[in-house]
Structure 1
Amino acid sequence: MAPTTSDVPPWYKQFWPWFLIGLLFSSIAFSTLYLVMSIKFYDGSVQQDYYKDGLAINEQLAKQEHAQTLSLAASLLVDSRTGDIVVDLEGERRPDQLHLSLIFPTAGGRDRSLVLDHLHGGRYVTVIDEPLRHRWYLQLQPSAGRDAEWRLTGEATFPSEETIDLTPGL
């Protein structure tokens, strides 16, 4: 016996059309949610001029090699309670100021640039306004920007009571 048209309910009362429509709308909702989140929480980890930065790696290596020929090294100590940053510079050069770049690995908006003033011998100091947390890349140079004569680099996880070594290596 064949079903008659009166035995089959209309399409809007059946399960499968609503299941397929639900899949479609859920994929649209999740796509919109991911789009909004990616715009709102943009991390900016890829630079716009990445090609030029890639070509400039040789200049960075030359700065670090020059620091090595000058026998430069530094130790950095951050006091998490007072915010004091103390750098002891060893080597032939002792500029009046040093520039310390604190680079956050994933969020470019959190990067900081500090100027350290020379006290005596090879000691430089500055104060930071809020305590450092998490992992940071450190770059110490005699002047700000890409025109510096030499560069020392390091990496640290804060808060830390230990001294951090800044060396001419990459």
Structure 2
Amino acid sequence: MTMESHSITPWYKQFWPWFLIGLLFSAISVSTTFAVLSVRSFDGMVQDDYYEHGTAINMVLAKQRRAAELSLAADLRIDPLTSDIIVDLEGEARPERLHLELIFPTRGDRDQEFTLEHARDGRYLGQAPDNLRYRWYLQLQPSQEDPEWRLVGEADFPSEGGFALTPALPGRD
């Protein structure tokens, strides 16, 4: 019988230790990258004063109830070529100016506010920025400070059609 001698190679010349070390270092680098990104980027959805926002919901509902009492509804259109905002307001209230807020769903720094001037017979006009895109929440009210009523809706821009703004009370279809 012959004795075969198998020479055992050192660990650093084998494949599996380097593969496992590579997995470890890739996990560390990916987790470090995500940790740095999470610290540097601000999450606009988190509210510091969530309790105050929660208690203010009754005031918001009262404004929407008041809009329903006044039989208010509006149709909003933004011309994709000229960026003109056109709001046709129906109901018993006709203020001289309307305040329109476009609220971006995920980033508070992209929210926009506009003042619309009364043109005639419930039609209000204003100017939007060019190239308005994506989905937005809409709020229409008579003034910025302590408005009497509020209409809400959603829009996806650009669009040729109009968007309905209603009181949107909970429990109503």
Give the alignment's TM-score, normalised by structure 1.
0.88
Query: How far off its partner does 1:162 sit?
Result: 1.2
How is 1:57-72 mapped onto 2 (pairs within 5 angstroms)? 57-72=57-72
> What is the SS of the residue equivalent to 2:98?
strand
TM-score, normalised via structure 2 length? 0.86
- Superposed, 1:20-169 pairs within 5 Å as 20-39=20-39, 42-145=42-145, 147-169=146-168
- Aligned partners of 2:78 and 2:128 also within 8 Å: no
The answer to whether the Cα contact below 8 Å between 1:43 and 1:108 also exists between their aligned partners in 2 is: no
1:39 offset after TM fit, Å?
4.5
Return 27-36 or 39-48, whichever deviates more: 39-48
Residue 17 of structure 1 corresponds to which residue in structure 2?
17
Offset from partner CA, 1:7-41 (integer Å, 9 cap, x none)? 22222222232222112100011112223444455
Distance 1:7 1:116, change over 3 A: same
Change in 2 beyond 3 A, CA 1:2/1:78: farther
Residue identity opposite 1:77 in structure 2: R
Q: 1:167 to 1:26 in 2, by over 3 A?
A: same
Size of the aligned set, in residue pairs, is: 168
Residues 139, 151 of structure 1: 8 Å contact kept: yes
CA distance in structure 2 between the aligned counterparts of 1:38 and 1:129, rounded to whole angstroms: 31
| 1:76-109 superposed Cα distances (whole Å, 9 cap, x missing partner) | 1110100100111111211111100001111212
5+ residue gaps, structure 1, are none
Q: Please list every run of 5 or more consecutive structure 2 residues that lacks an aligned counterpart in the other structure.
A: none
Q: Which amino acid aligns with 1:107?
A: R
Sequence identity (%)? 59
Is 1:67–1:152's contact at 8 Å kept on the other side of the alignment? yes
Instruction: Supply the AA of the counterpart residue of 2:10.
Output: P
What's the secondary structure of 2:32's corresponding residue? helix
